[in-house]
Amino acid sequence: VTSDVTWEDSLLVGLEGALLGCTYYLLFCRSCGSAVGFILYSSGSDLAHLRDLFCFFKDSIMCYLLKNQMIIEASKVNFPAVTLKK
C-alpha cells in the first residue's frame, strides 16, 4: 500500500454480510476519497487470518497485465474463486 491509501482512526462495526460483528477500519483513496477496502481489526475465528491485513474491494482497484502491458479493472480479471475462510 502506498501513501495514496489512507484510513480513518475510528473503527466501524459490520452490521451485515461477510463482516457481520467484525470491527474494521475503512480504507480510502487519498485522491478521490472513495472507499477501496478495509483493515479487519477484530473478528470471529473464521476471519482471524485476515486481521491486520489490507483487504481491497475488487471493483475498486486496477490491474496491470504484464503479458499484454495493459491496465484493466480488477473486476474484469479472472481471479480463482476463494471464500473468506480460505
Among 82, 77, 49, 39, smallest CA distance to 61 is for 77
Please state whether beta strands 70-73 and 62-65 pair in parallel, antiparallel, or not at all (unpaired): antiparallel
> The whole model's pTM is what?
0.68
Q: What span, in angstroms and rounded, lies between the C-alpha atoms of 28 and 31?
A: 9
From first to last of the 86 residues of the chain, give the pLDDT tens digit: 567 888 888 999 999 988 899 999 999 888 778 888 899 999 888 888 888 888 888 777 777 677 778 777 777 777 676 665 65
CB 40 within 8 A of CB 20: no
